[in-house]
């Protein structure tokens, strides 16, 4: 497979640092191979996930048309503007676990006549169904994102799936298309991605892979993929390292499948009952978090190996449609609402994963961080009329040039460091040629103390200018607060120098750097 970066993780004893040692500057050389382009990096690598969970939809997206908060047809204008600024390419909805109890008919027609349901998965909160199919599609269109709709398999049937799809996309005069028109939408909705079930091994039905593969084939038989319905069919994939699930499902149902999902969350402690705090953490927690998130690379390699065996032509895409850091909820909040704060650590976590995804885009065609607003590793936090753009949001903004770019190999050996007992590479990196013709190099410096001097041999690339941005702060758990100027936001990067065919980058500790070479 093409790899934009080879982070070999070789231990360099002379550079190994303990968490308690004084800060140092790590000096590392890299080689850019601009004349050996790799695989395309799809814009869908930068996708989002918005579930009916906590304040993710209600308050986060939907405030209603009568709200004093500025909105367009009930959808927050400030949130839409922020998401447009990071060029969100796709949004997955309505779940998540919520999807496999969702009745799509609850969310259409006059809002004052829609039934209220109990959200059994997430805190027992009332689900008013004020935000349904039309509202979600309006939200996606306002943002400029493609919809990725998750179908209820666990507690529904193929007829429900078929009728919802026809309601959304039928251009004809059939009753379902006419019902959509009566509800305010003449033109069919654009629905390019449809997930057939979610976490079918768990909250989506507690199925075995063999049983799910049969269920998937049954649902797919009534999917009616044709000129009217060209959507990518996404199978419900594995939980973390359950490679057997991917093997069985792609072997038994791969012919009917266009993509399969994969879920992996970064749990600092590895213990779902006590995950660790989102703020106020020490260097040991920083090290554990980065060590856990870097397992994404091994995870992808293992699942891709199985897919390559069952699908050697690489027809089936791998969608990591749930990923991100998951901490203990903030004190005083509903445990079922998964509300957590977002710090510089999360911005570095996001960038480190982007750099990993870029190396596997021959197979990885989409990822969707969990979740967009007010839930888990969110882009945005809301509080009444106020919003906060998080460090994770800014990491996404810095990486916008990588959307629909072409990967370029960047050969580099990252020194191993010891952070509070966790051995991790000091950094990882990736490079690509953007649609604008510029070459972009991105670095996630995961060392909480050590700066990095990275010397890049540019080879065939004839560079005349370099510019960039850096995301960092004084404290590991620095975060942006409501009503205050952001303390973790990109600023101009002054540490880049060109000299002949060499680019030198002076990168601060605990930072994300993206530079453009032209």
* Whether pLDDT at 327 is above 70: yes
Reported as a single tens digit per residue, the pLDDT across 66-119 is: 999 999 999 999 999 999 999 999 999 999 999 999 999 999 999 999 999 999
Q: Does residue 417 share a domain with residue 345?
A: no
- Are residues 69 and 155 both part of a single domain? yes
Q: Are residues 304 and 448 located together in one domain of the fold?
A: no
Residue 27 and residue 123 in one domain: no
What three-state secondary structure class fits 351? Answer: helix
Q: How confident is the model at residue 415 (pLDDT cuts 50, 70, 90)?
A: very high
Closest CA to 446 of 247, 292, 226: 292
**Residue 182: what pLDDT?**
98
Please check whether residues 98 and 197 belong to one and the same domain.
Answer: yes
Mean pLDDT, rounded, for 19-48? 88
Mean pLDDT estimate for the chain = 95
pLDDT of 15 higher than 50: no
What whole-number percentage of the chain has pLDDT above 90? 94
Spatial distance between the Cα atoms of 265 and 340, rounded to a whole number of angstroms: 14
Q: Residues 127, 199, 297, 362: which is the catalytic one?
A: 199
Determine the average pLDDT of the residues in 294-306: 98
**Do residues 31 and 138 share a domain?**
no
At 185 the three-state DSSP class reads coil
**pLDDT in the model for residue 51:** 98
Task: State mean pLDDT over 235-240.
Answer: 98
Band of pLDDT at residue 228, cut at 50, 70 and 90: confident
| Domain stops at, among 369, 403, 437 | 403
pLDDT value of position 9: 37
Integer angstrom CA distances of residue 31 from 2, 34, 123, 168? 16, 9, 51, 49
Last residue in a domain, options 375, 403, 431: 403
pLDDT at position 3 is 38
Q: Is the pLDDT of residue 1 over 60?
A: no
Same domain, 61 and 160: yes
pLDDT bracket for residue 23 (50, 70, 90): confident
CB 380 within 8 A of CB 388: yes
Task: Identify the pLDDT of residue 21.
Answer: 46
Longest CA span, the chain: 73
Shared-domain flag, residues 92 and 164: yes
Q: What is the mean pLDDT of residues 295-317?
A: 98
Active site residue 199: yes
444-492: pLDDT as tens digits: 999 999 999 999 999 999 999 999 999 999 999 999 999 999 999 999 9
Q: How confident is the model at residue 11 (pLDDT cuts 50, 70, 90)?
A: very low
∠ CA(490), CA(493), CA(495), 5° rounding? 150
User: Above pLDDT 70, what percent of the chain?
Assistant: 96
Are 357 and 414 within one domain? no
The answer to whether the bond into 293 is cis (omega within 30° of 0) is no
Higher local confidence (pLDDT), 12 or 62: 62
Torsions phi, psi of 443, nearest 5?
-130, 130
**Would you say residue 333 has pLDDT above 70?**
yes
Residues 21 and 111 both lie in one domain: no
- Residue 226 pLDDT grade (very low, low, confident, very high; cuts 50, 70, 90): confident
Domain with 27 in it: what CATH number?
A: 2.60.40.1180
Indicate the residue among 403, 422, 448 that finishes a domain. 403
59 and 81 share one domain: yes
Segments of 163-227 assigned E as strands: 193-196
Write the CB contacts of 301 (distance below 8 Å, at least 6 apart in sequence): 360
pLDDT of 12 higher than 50:
no
pLDDT band at 259 (very low <50, low <70, confident <90, very high): very high
Q: What is the pLDDT of residue 188?
A: 97
pLDDT of amino acid 16: 37
Q: Residue 265: which domain range?
A: 41-403
Is residue 311 located within the same domain as residue 432?
A: no
> Among the options 51, 160, 297, 322, which is catalytic?
322
Verify whether residue 362 is a known catalytic residue. Answer: no
Instruction: For residue 91, give the CATH number of its domain.
Output: 3.20.20.80
The tally of domains found in the chain comes to 2
Q: Which two tokens stand for residue 209?
A: 């892979």
Tell me the pLDDT tens digit for each residue of 137-168. 999 999 999 999 999 999 999 999 999 999 99
| The predicted structure's pLDDT at residue 22 | 58
CB atoms within 10 A of CB 111: 17
């Amino acid at each position: 497979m093409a790899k934009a970066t080879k982070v070999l993780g070789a231990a360099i004893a002379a550079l190994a640092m303990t968490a308690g040692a004084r800060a140092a500057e790590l000096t590392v050389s890299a080689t850019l191979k601009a004349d050996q382009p790799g695989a395309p990096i799809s814009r869908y690598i930068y996708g989002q996930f918005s579930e009916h969970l906590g304040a993710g939809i209600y308050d986060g997206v939907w405030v209603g048309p009568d709200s004093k908060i500025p909105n367009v047809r009930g959808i927050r204008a400030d949130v839409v503007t922020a998401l447009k600024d990071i060029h969100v390419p796709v949004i997955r909805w309505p779940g998540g676990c919520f999807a496999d109890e969702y009745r799509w008919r609850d969310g259409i027609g006059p809002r004052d006549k829609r039934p209220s349901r109990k959200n059994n998965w997430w805190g027992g909160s009332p689900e008013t169904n004020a935000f349904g199919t039309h509202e979600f599609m309006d939200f996606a269109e306002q943002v400029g994102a493609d919809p990725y709709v998750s179908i209820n398999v666990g507690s529904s049937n193929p007829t429900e799936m078929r009728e919802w799809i026809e309601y959304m996309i039928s251009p004809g005069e059939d009753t379902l298309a006419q019902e959509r028109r009566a509800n305010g939408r003449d033109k069919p909705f654009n629905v390019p991605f449809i997930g057939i079930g979610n976490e079918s091994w768990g909250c989506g039905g507690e199925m075995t892979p063999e049983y799910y593969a049969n269920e998937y084939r049954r649902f797919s038989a009534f999917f009616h993929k044709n000129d009217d319905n060209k959507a990518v069919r996404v199978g419900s994939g594995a939980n973390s390292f359950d490679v057997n699930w991917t093997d069985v499902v792609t072997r038994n149902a791969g012919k009917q499948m266009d993509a399969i999902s994969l879920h992996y969350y970064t749990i600092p402690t590895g213990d779902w009952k006590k995950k660790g705090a989102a703020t106020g953490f020490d260097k040991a927690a920083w090290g554990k978090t980065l060590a856990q998130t870097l397992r994404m690379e091994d995870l992808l390699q293992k699942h891709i190996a199985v897919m390559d065996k069952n699908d050697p032509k690489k027809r089936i895409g791998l969608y990591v449609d749930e990923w991100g850091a998951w901490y203990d909820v903030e004190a005083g909040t509903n445990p079922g609402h998964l509300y957590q704060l977002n710090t510089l650590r999360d911005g570095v976590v996001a960038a480190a994963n982007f750099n990993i995804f870029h190396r596997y885009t021959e197979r990885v065609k989409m990822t969707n961080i969990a979740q967009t607003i007010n839930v888990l590793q969110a882009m945005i936090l809301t509080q009444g009329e106020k919003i906060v753009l998080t460090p994770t949001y800014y990491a996404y903004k810095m990486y916008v040039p990588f959307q629909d770019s072409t990967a370029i190999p960047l050969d580099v050996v990252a020194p191993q460091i010891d952070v509070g007992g966790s051995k991790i590479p000091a950094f990882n990196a990736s490079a690509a040629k953007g649609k604008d013709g510029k070459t972009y190099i991105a670095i996630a410096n995961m060392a909480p103390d050590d700066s990095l001097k990275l010397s890049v041999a540019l080879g065939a690339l004839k560079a005349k200018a370099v510019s960039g941005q850096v995301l960092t702060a004084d404290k590991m758990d620095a975060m942006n607060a409501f009503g205050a100027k952001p303390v973790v936001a990109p600023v101009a990067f002054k540490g880049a120098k060109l000299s002949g065919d060499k680019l030198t980058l002076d990168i601060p500790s605990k930072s994300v750097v993206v530079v453009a070479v032209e």
